[in-house]
């Protein structure tokens, strides 16, 4: 189970990918590819 500090990418039922943080119910971002989310993750969350 994810904790509040973890940020991860998961595949959605519609084939898109969601960027989620910790135990959030909603995605922080949704994109068509993992690659776009990986770039966005670095920008948004300063990892």
Residue boundaries of the structural domains of the chain: 7-45
- The pLDDT-based confidence of 47 (bands split at 50, 70, 90) is very low
Judge residue 14's burial from the number of C-beta atoms within 10 Å of its C-beta, 0-12 exposed, 13-18 middle, 19 or more buried. exposed
Q: What angle is formed at CA 34 by the lines to CA 2 and CA 11, rounded to 5 degrees?
A: 55
Q: What is the mean pLDDT of the chain?
A: 82
In terms of phi and psi (left: phi > 0; alpha: psi -120 to 50; beta: otherwise), the region of 35 is alpha
What pTM does this model have?
0.72
Helix (H) or strand (E) holding 21: strand 17-21
The Cα 33–Cα 5 span in angstroms is 23
pLDDT for 2 beyond 70: no
């Amino acid at each position: 189970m994810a904790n509040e500090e973890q940020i991860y990418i998961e595949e959605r039922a519609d084939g898109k990918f969601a960027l989620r943080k910790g135990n959030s119910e909603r995605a922080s971002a949704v994109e068509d590819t993992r690659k776009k989310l990986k770039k966005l993750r670095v920008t948004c969350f300063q990892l």
